[in-house]
Structures are given as structure tokens and as C-alpha cells.
Chain A
């Protein structure tokens, strides 16, 4: 089974209200030395064994569906020990 991981993050210049709210809450836990929190999405895709271009296809999936190129960046990676 070929597994590919796509991480989708808001572009660094785009406001992340979720991250800001979490950052604002950290002092409640006694953590005060954090500069920034940003929250993204991790998407795990499992291809059929027969697929040979899983990474390439994942690029297409990520570009056209998983990420919104207007506000988000993505990275495609193949976890270790995985013959993608």
C-alpha cells in the first residue's frame, strides 16, 4: 500500500484565527514563552498497491482539491519505509 501525506497550511501571511486563539489561551496553561501557533491540516492518502505515481497524483489532488491556492500552501511527502 502506498501512503502519501499531504500537509496543508495557511500561507504564512494569511491570518490564522484558530492559531491566534490557541496562542492566546496558552498562558492559561502556564505556558508563556510561545511566539506563534499556526494550525493546518494533515491528509493521509492511501493508494492501491498497483499505483506507481502516487506522489505525482497526490500533487494533483493537493493542488486541485485539498488546498485552496489562494490562501494555502501544501507539501507532499512519503513517510519512511513506504514504497510510493
Chain B
């Protein structure tokens, strides 16, 4: 490993002596004025290592420079709630569940890496979000995934989808976290930009909450976990020292990171032991920006100074230069700040788990982040200039020109099936469409039961996890998005996604308490995209204010576009709810013979942006369904009540595909039959396929009909009886119209994905 010493290292001294040396800042993605500002901050030119660090920390990904001015709305509009223990700016938001327990959760994207190398890209996405949860002091207890691909039948989807699913599954399964749900959508706009959004949730005793502060002068900086390799350092390859010759692979600077869930599992167990023993002052995960980010953020959050000896970092690859080590995105690493007296204990506990742990530096009061490499100083910067004082852009915003045209191109004018036989066939065709069909091919590849606390998983509206076996307290989580609605109207579309996730949590009987969002958009340099972004953020912030639940964190993913073609704006919203006793959760299904099937909510003629318009006509136009947040809040309150009094046998939120699809899913899931009579005067097609929001299919046990009806009426919620559950009815009986046997329904609904992938 002496090779490193032969490399001429660009030290602070060298930088001082050679102020005019040309530096590849533009290749590193830094604008000219950004480079000038770095020189101004340092009072000299940056060293190569410093240049690498600024280019990483001031990137869109790390600095949120285009989104920051808009994301401020979350902080400004967030409702005040005593539940919020840590919010935006932390690794993940933390909310109190009761006097003892808190929960932390976050959704994050790993879109581009999942297109390049689907399995590893998706796997490391899951790994990354899990470490955010650990960094808050929590034990991760579940994951969810929101996936978007191009057309199901496109050849490249046959490459991307199985790889992504294998990656999500492999990582989650091996690290031992149940996957409790999510969503999968197909649309041509995601062909070159699949979206892989992963959510993780963890639980902690409230007093175990951790911070990322590197405080306490003299405290030791310890790197935990995997060795550092060349993973993902493609970005800084322009800094490769000319004096260093490569004798390795032709492509020795890969942009792909490989995840190792086994090491992650050891990290989880080790870190939790360290937290419980009170051995850690501060902790931070090493995410996309590796040591650069972890060192500068912990130093900036703490006493402001840190000294690191970079040659102490255990390396996996030969010939890594200082900027490589600082930029590496090698996975499964954490940075811990530990009092000197506890260092031996920390190292010993890590060793017991077979985990590498190395002291690499210490906290100082210098106000500077100083990094030495074999005794030579390669970095000497104010840490806040990296972590907190990055550039902020007010990007131009312009409403897309085509919006007016799209709005008048309403799906309500499309030809509709009229005859019973045509409507019957539409039910089957819709059930078999890629977005509505059974996702069992995907969810069967995920462990859903490890930990033994999964009360509801896929395909229920929300995942429900028990947190405490003695009290039965638990959480519900839903993850939803709809790019089509957001394309038609990003403000309303974002609110529709939030309302759906909120409702999905509510119908299990849980009370929604917090939000995490993953905002997937095209290029921020496109004013039209920026307009979509601003509208979507405003929509979410306004709705959260109204619903009284705060946004606790999340992530922005820009540049999801192929050439000039951006994806549909796709805000994906995770909503967390709390339920006092998971035994009283309301599942998906049909209950028992004789139970009443009813619909809560109002069905209007809302077909624009619907699955029907897309699946049957390839049509996207008009204005999306209306959102009524007052109504959603009443629904949530109603379901929390009906769950606690155990007056519902089952419930299912109506979303894409409307009532028809909700019935198909309830029938296929339960194995029972549904005897349905549509209300007098209702147009069967509209009633079955409209996507009016705020509607829930409920199953009421015999004897509870009056109580449920009066509970709805008290809250001003319309409820319409639709029929009865009957084990002797084969599938769906729509009186006066048609029958579809269960075998025929299942044949249409199941197997579509496997068949498209040649299985």
C-alpha cells in the first residue's frame, strides 16, 4: 500500500504555492461563480480533495440548491405538533407514538442507479434508507417500495423490473426487514427513468434519539462498517493523479455501488448495542456523498472542528488517492463520535459482531475540518461552508404552455362501454391491465413476516406493524403517488397522492400523524419542470397544514428525464399513522356471509387521468378528480372510531380503477362472493369506473348496519348500501347487469406480470 506515498499529493501548502493552477471545476459540475466563492471562502485555491468535497456537497443531490427555496414552505406551513421530536434537516423525521416510544421514517429515491444496474441500484437504495433510520437511534422494523417502470411489455422493462425487484427483495430479506407494502406503476414516461423509491421505518425508546453532532473536544471519530473502495467515485475521476498509473481493470472507477446486506445487519445490531450502552455522542450514516458528507455534517452540527487522519481509513482497493477516499460511496458505513474513555468498548463491541471499526480522527475546537494524509494536510475548510452554506438558486419558473389544451381534452368525452356485456368485459380488461393487476409476482419475492410483527402487509391499503406486544400499539404506513394526476395538475396531483396515502392509513383504523415525501421530477433547469415542482410542493404543504400532519423529511430527485422529455411530475407520499391496538385494525376483504357491503363517499363523473382512460384509450387529459380535505379528515376520524368499536369487518380504499377494481380485489383476496345492486338511477359505467376520491368500500357485520350508518350521518358522510357478502355467490354478481365468476376474475387479475416477463 506504499503506492500512495509515491503520489504527489495536492496539499494546502501546494495550493498556497500554486494559486494559478488550472482546476477542473467545470468537469466536476461546479459553476464558475461557485468556484470563485470556494476560493473566496478559503482565501486560496482549493486542493484537489477540497475541490472534490465542494463539488459533492454543492451538488443538487446534497445541497438541494434548486429546491431549497420551495421546500421552506414545509417548515413555514407545518402544523405544530408535540409529537414531532426531530424534523426536516435530520437524517429522518422522528415522531412520538406514546410516552415511551417514537418512530422514525423516511422515503428516498434511488432512480438513476436502478436504471444503470437495476439489482444493485435498488438494493443500495434500500440499504441507504435503512442507515438513515439507524442514525436516528432507531431499530429499523420495516421497508416499503414505490416502483415505476416503463411499459410492462417493453423489452427494457424485462431487464429493469426483475432486477429492481430482486434488489429490493435481496437487500430487505437478507438484512431481515419485512416489506409491508408499496406500489408498482407502469407508464411510458418512466421508460428511460424508472423510479425506485424506498421507505424505511424504525422504532426507538424516546430517550435513545441520536444526533449527528460531533461535539466534545477530544472525542474520537470512529468509522464503522465496510472498507472503503472505489464505489461511485466516477464523478471525481477527473482528479486522478497523472503520476499514478493504473494496472487494473479497464474501468477501474465504476459508478456502481454494490450493497452487502450482511454487513448492514451487523451495523444495525452493533449500532443499537452502542446506543443502548450510551457509548455514542453523535452518529451519522455515510450515504451518497460518503465521508465528505459525514465529516462535514457532523463537524458543522457539533463544536465546529474536526481533525482526521485519512490514511487510517481501511481501504478495499489499491492506489486510492485522498480525494477518492473522501468521495467514495462504498456502502454499509457509519461514522460515530465517541468519548475517548469509551473507544475501547466501542471497538470491542463492533469486533464481537465481526464489524470493522477504526478511530480516524477527533473533535477539535478549531472551527475547521482538517484532513491529513500521511501527515500532509489535504483539507482545511470551515465545515459549515460545505454542509450548510451551499449555493441557493431561484430557478426560473414557467407554466407549461400545453396546460390549457390538456385541461380541455377531457376523458369524460371518450366513448364508453354501454351494454352490460361491454361493461363486464371492461371490468376484466381493467383488472388485467398492468397498473391494476395483481402484484403478487413482485411481493412474493419479499419477506413480509420476519420479526413476527406484521399485522397487515401487501396487498392491504396500508402496512400495519405492531410495536409493542404488551400494549398492542402499532403503526400503519402507506406510500402512494400518481404521476398522471400530477401531470394534469401538479398542485392537485400532489394533494391527491397525499390524500390517498392518508386515507389508506385511515381505513385500517389508524390515525395519520406524519408525512415523508419523495419528489421525483425532471430537470430543474427546465422552467416548466420547476413550475411543476413549485406547484406540487405548495400543494403538499397546504394540504399538510390543513390536515394537521407535518412533513418530517424526505428527498428530492431531479433530472429524471431522457433528452428533453421529463417524466410526469411524481410526488410519492408516505403517511404514517398510529393505532392503539393493532388487533383492532380493519383489513381488506369481505367478512362473512350476510355482512353488508356499502360505499362511503360520493361518486361523481370523474374520469380524467383515470386508469380507465389510460388503459382503454391511452388517454391523458382533462382535470384530475377534486380533493376534499375536510371530507378526508372526517373519514379518518370515522374509521378510527369504527376500528376501536370493532364495527367494521373490512374496508378498502377506492383509487385507480374505482369501485370495480376495489370489488375485484376484495373478492380475489377473500375468496367470498359479492352480491351487488347499484343504487337506483346510477349509471353503471360511471359508478364502477369513476375515480372520485374520498370513497371507501366497507363491509359491515350483521347487526351493526344502523350503528355504522348513524356514525356516518353524524359526520355528514354519505353512505350507500351496495349489497351483501355471500359465500355461495361465485365472484361478482351485479344484479340486473352481469355476473363474473371468481375463476374468471382471478384469471384476468393474476399472472399478468409474470406472463409479460416470460414466466
Contact B330 A13 (CB under 8 A): no
**Chain A: which residue is nearest B120 at the CB level?**
A71
Contact B256 A17 (CB under 8 A): no
Specify which chain A residues have a CB less than 8 angstroms from the CB of B226 in the assembled complex: 15
**Chain A: which residue is nearest B320 at the CB level?**
A13
Specify which chain B residues have a CB less than 8 angstroms from the CB of A16 in the assembled complex: 258
B457 close to chain A: CB less than 8 A: no
Interchain nearest-CB distance for B453 vs A (Å):
27
Contact B249 A73 (CB under 8 A): yes
Partner of B249, one of A12, A20, A70: A12
Contact A71 B262 (CB under 8 A): no
Q: Which residues of A are interface residues toward B (Cβ below 8 A)?
A: 10-17, 20-21, 24, 68, 70-71, 73
Interchain nearest-CB distance for A64 vs B (Å):
12
Contact B263 A13 (CB under 8 A): no
Contact with A along B219-263 (1 / 0, CB 8 A): 000000010011100000000000000001101111011111011
Contact B260 A70 (CB under 8 A): no
Docked complex Cα distance between A56 and B431 (Å): 47
Partner of B254, one of A17, A20, A71: A71
Contact A11 B316 (CB under 8 A): no
Partner of A14, one of B116, B258, B354: B258
Specify which chain A residues have a CB less than 8 angstroms from the CB of B230 in the assembled complex: 13
Interchain nearest-CB distance for B39 vs A (Å):
33
Contact B116 A70 (CB under 8 A): yes
B746 close to chain A: CB less than 8 A: no
Docked complex Cα distance between A73 and B249 (Å): 8
Chain A interface secondary structure, helix, strand, loop or mixed?
loop
Docked complex Cα distance between A14 and B117 (Å): 13
**Chain A: which residue is nearest B163 at the CB level?**
A68
Specify which chain B residues have a CB less than 8 angstroms from the CB of A20 in the assembled complex: 260, 263
Docked complex Cα distance between A17 and B264 (Å): 11
26 A-B pairs with CB atoms under 8 Å apart are A11-B249, A11-B252, A12-B248, A12-B249, A12-B317, A13-B229, A13-B231, A13-B249, A13-B254, A13-B317, A14-B231, A14-B256, A14-B258, A15-B229, A15-B231, A15-B257, A15-B260, A17-B262, A17-B263, A20-B263, A24-B354, A68-B117, A70-B116, A71-B117, A71-B256, A71-B258
Docked complex Cα distance between A43 and B317 (Å): 27
Contact B260 A13 (CB under 8 A): no
Q: A13-B248, A15-B231, A68-B117 are in contact. List 18 more A-B contacts (CB 8 A).
A: A11-B252, A12-B248, A12-B249, A13-B229, A13-B254, A14-B231, A15-B257, A15-B260, A15-B330, A17-B260, A17-B263, A20-B260, A20-B263, A70-B117, A70-B256, A71-B117, A71-B120, A71-B258
Specify which chain A residues have a CB less than 8 angstroms from the CB of B249 in the assembled complex: 11-13, 73
Contact B117 A13 (CB under 8 A): no
Docked complex Cα distance between A33 and B616 (Å): 65
**Chain A: which residue is nearest B331 at the CB level?**
A15
Specify which chain B residues have a CB less than 8 angstroms from the CB of A11 in the assembled complex: 249, 251-252, 254
